[in-house]
Amino acid sequence: KPRVFSGIQPSGGLTLGNYLGAMKRFVQMQDAGTHETVYCMVDLHAITARLLPPEELRNNTRELCAGFIASGIDPEKSILINQSQVPEHAQLAWIFNCVARMGWMGRMTQWKDKSGKDAEGASLGLFAYPALMAADILVYHATHVPVGDDQKQHLELTRDIAAKFNHDYGVDFFPITEPVIEGAATRVMNLQDGTKKMSKSDPVEKTRINMTDDADAIAKKIRKAKTDPDPLPDAVDGLSERPDARNLVNIYAALADITPQAVLDEHAGAMFGHFKVALADLAVAKLSPISSEMSRLMDDPAEIDRILGRGAARAREITVPILEKTYDIIGMLRS
Ligand code: ATP
Ligand code: MG
């Protein structure tokens, strides 16, 4: 079976963007049974933007693990891990730091966005982020990576790193991975600015819906979401110049598992005041079973830690031999 790898950072709470753009797809790929699936809480990535207080990182990681399971990831069917518990990720990342070029990294839009005006003050880890991400994927020889649209450029870099390694050592060792970016919600936008993506690390709370938000909070954030005064159009073309409106229609479509056009077929002519009520009801119906299961799982942190311990042991059956072979190709002495 071809292998799938993907990850989410425990840099904050899970958002609706993470759920629709990533998690929901992870579950579909697991349940299809056509791939071996490896899913990861990438805690080493979570400290690249800022060093989190240790208690916060621990709590975020456990909550993210609860989010995976509550969304439908079965730790028996998939390998579910926390990145730092499988040390081969970081070991292969060092090799890739020496394969990737400074120029490649400097062109990454996530680096530019997250370092902002203060590149001198950003961490070296934030700059090297895509090399660690390439290692996360390639240490499993994963061939398919389901992600949101914002990760497309990092996956191209992963292909470049694999190709350069293979070329420089004259081997056909690392696979050239395929991004899997599909569905109505590959880029869920910020509720206050339809030209920016929704992010868990955005400092402004009302820009996103968190998976742990209760029904009132979800309804309030949707009610306050930015829109325009026009009614919903009858065809998706009518949304092309209306990013905020388009975002709410796409979120509805992704939650209901229908196309954006099917949403308009049902709601054309409605004002956003009405549509937002329907959207809030749908969001609460889909998200509240997940959030209540998450809080139930969080009552037993020791069980979460056991699940991640078992996942790490399973993962290392794959990663240790791949790292050994990599060292051997490079000429690092093993004795
Ligand atoms: P951060 O702000 O810390 O970068 P994030 O919300 O971007 O957090 P990540 O952990 O970086 O979350 O990304 C995890 C997965 O979720 C990736 O596959 C990413 O493409 C996807 N993703 C993140 N935000 C969105 C979004 N707004 N819409 C769709 N997919 C998203
Ligand atoms: Mg991100």
Residues 67-126 pLDDT 10s: 999 999 999 999 999 999 999 999 999 999 999 999 999 999 999 999 999 999 999 999
Tokens of 147: 């992600």
CATH of 212-296, one of 1.10.240.10, 1.10.3720.10, 3.40.50.300, 3.40.190.10: 1.10.240.10
Predicted pLDDT at 153: 98
Q: Is the CB of residue 147 below 6 angstroms from any atom belonging to ligand 1?
A: yes
Identity of the amino acid at 109: T
The CA angle 103-106-107, to the nearest 5 degrees, is 90
Quote the pLDDT of residue 184: 82
Question: What phi, psi does 180 have (nearest 5°)?
Answer: -120, 100
Q: Which atom of ligand 1 is nearest to the CA of 208?
A: 27
DSSP class of residue 210 equals B
* Pairwise CA distance, residues 9 & 110, whole Å: 14
Domain ranges of the chain: 3-185+300-330, 212-296
Locate 120 and state its tokens: 């001198």
d(CA 302, CA 196): 38
pLDDT above 70 as % of the chain? 100
201 lines ligand 1 (CB under 6 A): yes
Q: Give the closest ligand to the alpha carbon of residue 48.
A: 1
Q: Is the pLDDT of residue 45 over 90?
A: yes
**Mean predicted confidence (pLDDT) in 40-49:** 98
**Average pLDDT for residues 43-64, to the nearest whole number?**
98
Q: What atom in ligand 1 is closest to the CA of residue 114?
A: 4
pLDDT surpassing 90 at residue 188: yes
Question: Identity (one letter) of the amino acid at 168?
Answer: D
| Residue of 24, 114, 221, 226 with catalytic role | 114
Q: Probe ligand 1: pick from 18, 151, 153, 192, max atoms within 8 Å of CB?
A: 18
- Mean of all residue pLDDT scores within the chain: 97
Residue corresponding to tokens 């742990």 = 212
Mean of the pLDDT values across residues 194-212? 96
CA dihedral of 25, 29, 31, 32, whole degrees rounded to 10: 130
Q: How many CA atoms lie within 13 A of 306 on its CB side?
A: 7
Task: Give the residue whose CA is nearest to atom 19 of ligand 1.
Answer: 148
Confidence of residue 179 (pLDDT cuts 50, 70, 90): very high
pLDDT computed for residue 335 by the predictor: 86
Predicted confidence at residue 171, as pLDDT, reads: 98
For residues 140-168, give the mean pLDDT. 98
Q: Is 295 in the pocket of ligand 1 (CB under 6 A)?
A: no
Residue with tokens 């990182």: 57
What local confidence, expressed as pLDDT, does residue 211 receive? 96
Atom of ligand 1 nearest to the CA of 190: 27
pLDDT at 183 over 90: no
Q: Determine whether the shortest distance from the Cβ of 15 to ligand 1 is under 6 A.
A: yes
The burial class, CB within 10 Å (0-12 / 13-18 / 19+), for 281 is middle
Coil, helix or strand for 68?
A: helix
Pick the CATH number of 3-185+300-330 from 3.30.465.10, 3.40.50.620, 3.90.320.10, 2.30.40.10: 3.40.50.620
- DSSP assignment of 251-278 equals HHHHHHTS-HHHHHHHHTT--HHHHHHH
On the question of a common fold for 3-185+300-330 and 212-296, the answer reads no
- Is the distance from the beta carbon of residue 18 to the nearest atom of ligand 1 less than 6 Å? yes
- Is 197 known to be catalytic? yes
ipTM here = 0.99
CA angle 56, 60, 66 (to 5 degrees): 150
pLDDT (average), residues 175-198: 95
CB of 144 within 8 A of CB of 3?
A: yes
pLDDT in tens, 241-267: 999 999 999 999 999 999 999 999 999
What is the C-alpha to C-alpha distance for residues 317 and 313, in angstroms, rounded to an integer? 7
Cα–Cα distance, 244 to 223 (Å, whole number): 13
Contact indicator for 69, 305 with CB cutoff of 8 Å: no
pLDDT level of residue 307 (50, 70, 90 thresholds): very high
Q: Looking at residues 221-244, what average pLDDT do you find? A: 96
For the entire predicted model, the pTM comes to: 0.97
- Could you tell me the strand order of the sheet in which 79-82 lies? 79-82, 36-41, 3-8, 144-146, 178-180
CB 258 within 8 A of CB 207: no
Bridge partners of residue 7, in order along the sequence: 40
Average pLDDT over residues 10-14: 95
Mean pLDDT of 136-152: 98
Q: Active-site residue among 117, 152, 197, 276? A: 197
